[in-house]
Chains A and B, each alone.
Chain A
């Protein structure tokens, strides 16, 4: 627990479905081994809080900042002297970028995240690095992600061309 991967905002964002079962998003990568434990316990803590309460929870010496968007919960685990409001803004920022990316009209849809969980990660990686906000411009993030997507696409097209498959098979 002590050895946290990212020093400042120990970030990962978890998008959680309301029913205790975590459906999408990523969670505290640094805590890999205690993942299940974390998600159950913290999930319980957060889901039990009513709607009109403050968005901060003290949890085992860390502060957890969470925010709910429709049925999704996004949480971030931060250090004691981090700025809670700033983190809330980061979460909001992230959600807006996700919105824009998945093109949904009003809010991120849970299914989008479930089927594109890796993309949610990629976007998060663009946004944050080593626990610090890297890119504060939504447009830039969108542009970067689009550029990478097109790279992936061209690679895929190559790979799936018939001649390629035949070449593979007859190798």
Chain B
């Protein structure tokens, strides 16, 4: 390509032309942009810097607002940067700070340009290059330019100086060793009287203090002075941030600082400063009663303010206080509860959090009631937010705050009936979990499950399917508590179950199987005459509950059995019902459903003959056959009646790996093998299930044919398998869209008795929040089964530990590897007791805090595992510098050593620690 001609540069489109053209283009935006880009590519190769820079500027525009990649121009940007003209430089710096990142290949070439501009006499050029450095600095740049930045830190042009101060932060971050060089000058700037510079320095320190507050304790006197003297709110806010971090480390400091902060809080008119004071007090000075009271007063002002911002921040501040002073929240509960119906979703969520913070075992029932009422009225999003937080709060620590599980179970069912409820999965888990863990609640659980199952309208709501699957499982597993198994059976087999996704359908069938076995067992094995005894015995304790929802055809002839024992006749009906309902499912497209239906029908076939016989003629003739059938029934019943317990997360790990079994072997191929098979959509046919499960499913059939000798073994095997997989045989795909012509399960209009008045609710909660003993607390809390290794996640813990090991190892490596200012011997010489016992030494003797970093390697690195090792090192270095700093002061006060020796003394300092400790506390305040 020939070089660009004069014409090119004369008739180049300017940025303005480009923008105008872009706004008026007729050829379509994309086409126009790609045409413009083409031009730019040509122009940017020009040797004329003006043309080049204009092209670069246009490219910046396109990259900025139309997201076009401009990395191809990186080198050209550098070329423009070398221009002597300020206007070009400005464009180049702009482009560079927009487009360069750590992996830009030409980043290495920029160092000299930056250096040249950093030493320029034009303060704006210096400023530009500082600005750029703050954006693109990486380790190399930070290292190479440290001397220049250092020089600028004491520049006599304030404009340059303050910018250099701000950039130091970035340099420290990238290249921790620069702390050695620059820290002293940075601290000197802290005593500057120019507010701009002070603001910059304080800003830098507030950032640094966030990461490692302990190192900056020695500077507390300076910060204190700034806090007291500062006239600028910007600076005060930053200083407050510093104190929020460092004050908790040193009680004496907190004592000194708390009063000025309160003063500030009383005097200031600026909301931002006021809020910062409040936040500082509630986060870091929460043990100072009077300060907290004052802060709470201010929070209250925020809460009742019209401005939604202040209201939000007030709630936010409350939630910080809540962890330590719950009384503050209860004092303001009216506002909090009212905020639940605020138009702003952020405010609502914040207040919900606060309400949940107030929950205790005494008021959980009332608060839940209020919240459920709110959930009924809110939009779907917030409704689920509410339900989710109720669920998670109540299930915390294995249902710690729940005393009355009967109540909780009915709450669960109530929540699942809320129209917008999408928490089906969580409710499902809790239903099953409670069933497994809490024995005493099972009768109530079965009753609740029955209510859910029997309502045909619920089947139409796809969000409820998961809940229904839990209900089906519960009613199958704990059928012995059921008042009326026959009715349940009909509910499980009702025609509308066809709306369920296959995986849940399978659970329904399996539960029907359990129910059937139970009925047969009661009827035949325990003797026809005494049948129903066990069933009735188990629900004797219940009041006679009327069936509210059951006014449906399915219950029509089940009704007769409500209180009647299970008779032969009803068994026959039952078997007929099963056959009727399941025979269409034999052709189901889903293997799981088909399989289970076949199992059940096969079982029915086996039993039917005897059942029919015994119903037709009395027991005379059937005796011989009856023995056979009874044996089968007993067998299967035994298999099902083995109780399932909660399974610890670690259970799998406890199973020893059998010899000769290599896990993972060949499993890698599985993916590819399965991947080859084009899986049809979920409701046609699925190959996905591991064959093992099918084996076990048919197992129950096989088992029937086996003689009783092997039954024990197989029973336990089956039970074992069920225990392992339980309900979770199948992943549920609940994406089925089902047309629903039934009325919605829970029409909000029907919930007429809901308290619609917010103030009523407030009153209600107000009452409920008063901690009082509930009457039903007289009932003792049922036992909740917990596993001995309380559901922890050992795997995660192990990972953490291993990471810690590597981290602390790395830290140690760095410690010993680098030219160290701190010999190991001197570290180990330090008495350990100092660290915890005497706080004053803590704050000044950085050697110790450094030791903290090392020794507490485990805890501290866990806390900030995101910190790079470099940072650890940096802190250490910084510590060293600070020590120099304090040292310097010390020396100045004694005026023995000239300052210039300082750097040489550094190496010896650690050895001087013991004398230091006794002197330094006086520096503090």
Contact = CB atoms under 8 A, between A and B. Distances in A.
| A and B pair up | yes
Interface in A1-59: 2, 5-8, 22-24, 26-27, 29, 32, 35-36, 50, 52-58
B308 A54 contact: yes
B166 A89 contact: no
Given A52-B308, A115-B16, A159-B50, A151 B9 contact: no
B13 interface: no
A37 to B, nearest CB: 10
A29 B200 contact: no
Nearest to A160: B50
A50 B90 contact: no
Interface residues of B, number: 69
B309 A155 contact: no
Given A7-B207, A86-B272, A152-B87, A54 B312 contact: yes
B91 interface: yes
Interface in B184-206: 195-196, 199-200, 203-204, 206
Nearest to A67: B309
A125 interface: yes
* A8, A125, A130: most-surrounded residue (chain B CB, <10 A): A130
Interface string B361-385: 0000000000000000000000000
Contacts of A117: 61, 64-65
A71 interface: no
Contact of B200 (A5, A7, A56, A132): A132
A105 interface: no
A114 interface: yes
Given A52-B308, A114-B19, A136-B232, A152 B90 contact: yes
A83 interface: yes
B39 interface: no
B65 A23 contact: yes
Contacts of A89: 272
A83 B270 CA distance: 13
B87 A2 contact: no
Interface stretch (B93-101, B258-266, B614-622, B758-766): B93-101
A130 B344 CA distance: 32
Given A29-B97, A155-B86, A54 B309 contact: yes
B246 interface: no
Contacts of A151: 86-87, 122, 124
Interface centre among B87, B94, B122, B170, by most chain A C-beta atoms within 10 angstroms, is B87
A29 B98 contact: yes
A96 interface: no
A22 B312 contact: no
Contacts of B343: 50, 52-53
B271 interface: yes
B162 interface: yes
A60 interface: no
A81 B241 contact: yes
Question: B-side binding surface: helix, strand, loop or mixed?
Answer: helix
A22 B65 contact: yes
Contact of B124 (A26, A132, A133, A147): A147
A147 B122 CA distance: 11
Given A85-B275, A144-B159, A155-B88, A118 B312 contact: no
Given A8-B207, A144-B159, A121 B94 contact: yes
B10 interface: yes
A168 interface: yes
Contacts of B97: 29
21 contacts: A7-B173, A7-B207, A22-B65, A32-B101, A52-B344, A53-B343, A53-B344, A54-B309, A81-B241, A83-B237, A85-B271, A85-B309, A86-B272, A114-B19, A115-B15, A118-B91, A125-B131, A129-B130, A130-B166, A135-B196, A144-B124
Given A50-B343, A121-B94, A147-B124, A133 B312 contact: no
Given A57-B346, A86-B237, A134 B94 contact: no
A131 B204 CA distance: 10
Interface string A94-137: 00000000000000000000110110011001000111111110
Given A84-B313, A117-B65, A152-B90, A32 B167 contact: no
A165 interface: yes
Contacts of B637: none
A6 B204 CA distance: 11
Contact of A32 (B61, B86, B90, B99): B99
Interface centre among A29, A115, A155, A158 (most CB of B within 10 A): A155
A142 interface: no
Interface in B877-898: none
Contacts of B163: 129, 134
B198 to A, nearest CB: 11
Contacts of A114: 19
Given A86-B237, A86-B272, 17 more contacts: A24-B65, A29-B98, A36-B67, A53-B344, A53-B345, A53-B347, A83-B276, A85-B275, A86-B276, A88-B272, A115-B19, A129-B130, A129-B200, A132-B199, A134-B196, A155-B86, A159-B87
Most chain B Cβ neighbours within 10 Å, of A32, A52, A165:
A32
B396 to A, nearest CB: 22
A84 B310 CA distance: 10
A32 B19 CA distance: 22
B199 A130 contact: no
B85 interface: yes
B6 A86 contact: no
A142 to B, nearest CB: 14
A28 to B, nearest CB: 11
Nearest to A57: B346
Q: Which of A54, A89, A115 has the most CB of B within 10 A?
A: A54
A118 B57 contact: yes
A18 B113 CA distance: 40
Nearest to A136: B234
Contacts of B48: 168
A35 B65 CA distance: 10
A120 B207 CA distance: 26
B858 to A, nearest CB: 23
Interface in B35-94: 48, 50, 57, 60-61, 64-65, 67, 85-88, 90-91, 94
Contacts of A130: 134, 166-167, 169-170
A148 B124 contact: yes
A7 B206 CA distance: 11
Interface in A54-81: 54-58, 81
Contacts of B627: none
Contacts of B234: 86, 133, 136
Nearest to B125: A151
A80 B792 CA distance: 29
Contacts of A7: 169, 173, 207
Contacts of B50: 159-160
Contacts of A36: 67
Nearest to A8: B207
A75 B534 CA distance: 68
B866 interface: yes
Contacts of A136: 195-196, 199, 232, 234
A144 B170 CA distance: 24
Nearest to A150: B86
Given A32-B99, A35-B67, A81-B210, A134 B167 contact: no
Given A115-B16, A168-B48, A132 B346 contact: no
A144 B162 CA distance: 14
Nearest to B29: A21
A84 B57 CA distance: 33
Contacts of B199: 132-134, 136
A156 B203 contact: no
A168 B8 CA distance: 12
